[in-house]
Structure 1
């Protein structure tokens, strides 16, 4: 049953609109977004569809095709739990900002195929799909970036996850066949052609099936480390550090490590953009490898499964590999020549089997379209 049919069955009428927003994978630029830095994500083929109609009684009725068979009715936003918070946080944020959503009541049916917990940002896809639908219904005139900011604020305030803007921006603003080069301070962005197939390459997502929970405090701890370091260095954000050696000499422990990663990761994003501009996409692997080592050793957000996935990918012939997403599980990506895809898969699967772990899931990452109306 599709999302429109499910909506009609649950609520007795057709939805006013249906929007689909994708998940994302990040090519490079990890944990730089909330440090006002640079990121280079792109949308993936999997996403979330939201069928939405307004109500005039202030209630929100939610149905997920991946959840219970019957819709859940929420009289107030505070009653939401689990995945529901990502949905209700969007209209609640609009109400709190006085943006024309007076009652905030909606019937919403959700259908998603982003692998949950894989680090592909199913939460941002959910927020952007719902935000895009409400934007249309109420004629708010929000731009894709404004919808992304709405989703980020909803996640920050209603879920308690202090995420940056990257995930929502990638979901809202991406274009097919392109990566999104985003300056997270100015929110300016440009679309960067990423034609992997023309170079005989593929980005392979390796879902370790280790599901993380970033709202458990580890992500917030990393962000707090960065903010504390920035204060000690007298800069607005770590993006502003220009003398890395001097900055590191003034810091110790975790804060020193976090600064090392963020500053060098921003440089890696810019270097990778330079290679793409030069048509040297086959040469970006070394930057992916360096990013993973920094995330593992300096930012300390990798996991044994992610490290094994990266190492086994390289043994299998990948040109480069790194963990992607917030970390503590989820997925890695590998840059692989078409003729080496099978050997990379075999190498990673064998390494996981040798550890007694469940076999990972392999998915080709094709740069896909951002949020769009489907009905």
Structure 2
């Protein structure tokens, strides 16, 4: 990120900024569709981020400039209703921060980022958490990291209309260099695990496809999981989610469950098991073992949970005979987006070239690749420190 460009634009439009805040996008190493089933996820912050220059302006107005789009917008602090476009996220963070007790007044902001849009790295959470921590610093608030993450989530729910879990905002806020976060989506308790991949890189392969059925299919999967839980709960009254059900318990009801519902439920239970195994592998620095769990995750998402697509499956299958790829899987909600791949460092360029060529040759589509590094979470700093 070119912070100098952001500061220069701020000076051109508004004067001297008081501080810089920033927050990263994220990857998820393993654990998809487990969040709304009160399971575990394993995200990490990455070295792609949204950056903000901010200053109070002594008015009742917020003036904002999106440098990447070369667009300006503004609104009154007293008028915090949802609007169309990117300004809606700014309004949402202001409104939800106020609900948490932060006394936000008029301010100016210029922001930009290098988190790819639509690639499943959660540029929206980076925007929300970067602005959230900036406002908390600018207006001398006492919001905790967790409260800033919850501000971001509430902004998605109440302004963007996306009923997301807490994973994206949590990773963007709590990220640490070379650490992944094992987040319990029921209790919101978390634990750091070291991801020491010296000699290897995380490479994302973007299918550049999105499928319109994703949102409706997401709701269907959620309903199927709830249907499975309801059947088990008739006998085991203390069961409230798939988190409470073992494979042995689920198998007791296999004949009563629709075959598709059984597959959906067994995938979620198995994914939580895989995630725990992946954490054990990281503690032992067993990257081959981690790769095995990643492939298992993809197979479950594709064959049991039914949220992959031809493009994602193709990219994962292309890696299976490459001895320099330790693991690969689709990442995110599915039906498009990226695969995440653990690749030996000396073969990264070869990997990207071969995957790009195969994707174009076999599917006649363009693939984009991103090499990402596990980085820091949201933070703010004075402009003087940067000069």
TM-score relative to the length of structure 1? 0.90
Once the two structures are superposed, the pairs formed by residues 103-142 of structure 1 within 5 Å of their partners are 105-142=106-143
Match of 1:226 in 2: 225
Q: Report what 1:241 is aligned to.
A: 245
Separation of aligned partners in 2, 1:119 and 1:289: 19
Question: CA separation of 1:137/1:59 partners in 2, compared to 1, >3 Å: closer, same or farther?
Answer: same
* Residue in structure 1 matched with residue 43 of structure 2 by the alignment: 41
Distance 1:17 1:321 in 2: 39
Residue 290 of structure 1 deviates from its aligned partner by 1.0
Contact 2:31 2:271 (C-alpha < 8 Å) held by counterparts: yes
3-state SS of the aligned residue for 2:275?
helix
Distance in 2 (alpha carbons) for counterparts of 1:332 and 1:116: 15
Match of 2:328 among 321, 330, 333: 321
CA RMSD of aligned residues (A): 2.4
Matching residue of 1:262 = 268
The answer on 1:347 being equivalent to 2:343 is no
Alignment length, in residue pairs?
369
Aligned runs of 1:134-173 on 2, under 5 Å? Answer: 134-173=135-174
Flag structure 1 segments of 5+ consecutive residues without an equivalent. none
CA distance in 1, matches of 2:54, 2:321: 47
1:90 aligns with 2:96: no
Q: Is the 8 A contact 2:202 2:342 kept in 1?
A: yes
| Separation of aligned partners in 2, 1:129 and 1:166 | 15
Which residue of 2 is the match for residue 299 of structure 1? Answer: 305
1:78 aligns with 2:81: yes
Instruction: Report if aligned partners of 1:352, 1:358 keep a CA contact under 8 Å in 2.
Output: yes
- Any stretches of 5+ residues in structure 2 without a counterpart? 234-238, 383-387
Contact 2:298 2:329 in 1 (8 A): yes
User: Residues 70, 153 of structure 1: CA spacing in aligned structure 2 closer, same or farther, 3 A cutoff?
Assistant: closer
Question: 1:297, CA displacement in angstroms?
Answer: 2.3
Give the secondary-structure state (helix, strand or coil) at the position aligned to 2:320. helix
Mapped pair 1:288 → 2:294: yes
Write the distance in 2 (CA, Å) between the matches of 1:221 and 1:257.
13
Once the two structures are TM-superposed, the CA of residue 153 in structure 1 deviates from its matched residue by 1.5
How far is the alpha carbon of 1:196 from its aligned partner? Answer: 0.4
Structure of higher CA gyration radius: 2
Indicate conservation of the 8 Å contact 2:26/2:46, yes or no. yes
Deviation at 1:127, TM superposition (A): 0.8
Distance in 2 separating the partners of 1:181 and 1:98: 26
1:246-274 residue CA offsets vs partner (Å, 9 max, x unmatched): 35444326543331221111111001111
